[in-house]
Structure formats: C-alpha cells, structure tokens
Amino acid sequence: MKFKMKPLARFFAAPFARYAERVLLMYANTQAMCTSFKVELLNGSHAFGAQAANGVRTVTTKDTFNLALFLVSASRGVADTVYNTTGELAASGNYTQGGKLLTNATEPTSTGTTAFWTPSAGLTWTALTSSGAFDAAVLYNAAATGNEECSVHTFSSQSITAADFTITMPANDATNALLRIA
C-alpha cells in the first residue's frame, strides 16, 4: 500500500522534516575553535603576530590567514583539523575556493587574563553569486603547509545574487575579539 500524505498534513510536517533531516544526517556548521588548533597553539604552529627574540625563538614573519565560506549543507566544526573544499561554495559567480586573505595588521594582545586576536579588517566578496545558501566562515592558516584550520564562525543563512557580501569583524577586545584565550 502506498502511503500518501494529505496536502495539509504535508504543509505542517515540512518544517519538522527539514529539521529532522539536518539532525539525522548531521550536516550543520557549528561555531567553534577547533580542538586541533588549541594543540597547535601549544606547539607554536601558528604565528598571528611577529615577536622579538624571547629567549626561545624569534618569529619575524607572521603567517597569513584566510577566511572561506561554507554551504549550510556542510559539516564544519570543532573536530575539523585542516581546511579543505568539502562543503565550500563552488568556484563560480566570482567566488574563488580557498576564500580571501585576511588583513592582519594588529598583533595579538591581552587585557587582564584574556589574550585575543581579530583580523584588522573585514572582507567583501564583490559581485558575488553564491552557489547556494551558506552560513559559515572558516578561518585557517594559509601559510601552513597543511592549511591548518583555526575556527568556524557561523551566521544566519545567506544567499547572494549578483551583489556584494561583507563580513565585518567584531571589536578587538577581551570580550568580543574573534579568537580569545581566557
């Protein structure tokens, strides 16, 4: 016997079906600082700023960091270790996979017991037509061989058509900075 849902029931069931699909298939982006990134910080794998000789080593060159956009159907989150193109916006409509280079003119600093860092400028994708709805931006070290991933930042689902998409960074302080260690 073929089951056929009545139109009215289908209307009310549709939102729950979409939610269930996301939960059951577990595709969703989750805001997080990647666990592997914390280990890499302890290993000195990322240089967000340059520093003078400190008795251990001298870092004269900062790494470069990119921000890439990911579809709502992706599954980026705390368990990520490296940037890859799985779930990223397709290379179309003026989007280049790998994302955009962040401006990093402000060294990491601290206030009280909290250290923090924020890119010194936001990003704009000009005249973009996104290949689908997206709701996450992945921050990764573009200078590192493996493109180690730092964090995932989520926002409301956006689809862009023949126009600009802008991400503005939060205030660079101990309460709001993009990356904080407390």
Q: Applying CB under 8 A, which residues contact other proteins?
A: 31-33, 38, 41-42, 93, 113, 116, 127, 129, 151-156, 158-170, 176-182
Exposure string over 6-39, b if 16+ CB within 10 A, otherwise e: eeeeeeeeeeeeeeeeeeeeeebbeebbbebbee
Distance of CA 49 to the CA centre of its chain: 20
**Please, are residues 65 and 119 in contact by the beta-carbon 8 Å criterion?**
yes
Q: Which is nearer to other proteins, 123 or 142 (CB)?
A: 123
Smallest distance, other proteins to C-beta of residue 97, A: 18
What is d(CA 131, CA 145) in angstroms, rounded to the nearest whole number? 28
What is d(CA 84, CA 144) in angstroms, rounded to the nearest whole number? 13
- What's the distance, Cα to Cα, between the start and end of the chain in Å? 60
Q: Which is nearer to other proteins, 60 or 166 (CB)?
A: 166
Smallest distance, other proteins to C-beta of residue 103, A: 15
Q: Which is nearer to other proteins, 116 or 140 (CB)?
A: 116
Phi, psi of 135 (to 5 degrees): -145, 20
Smallest distance, other proteins to C-beta of residue 20, A: 24
Q: Both tokens of residue 55?
A: 């008795």
Smallest distance, other proteins to C-beta of residue 1, A: 39
Smallest distance, other proteins to C-beta of residue 19, A: 19
Q: Which is nearer to other proteins, 28 or 167 (CB)?
A: 167
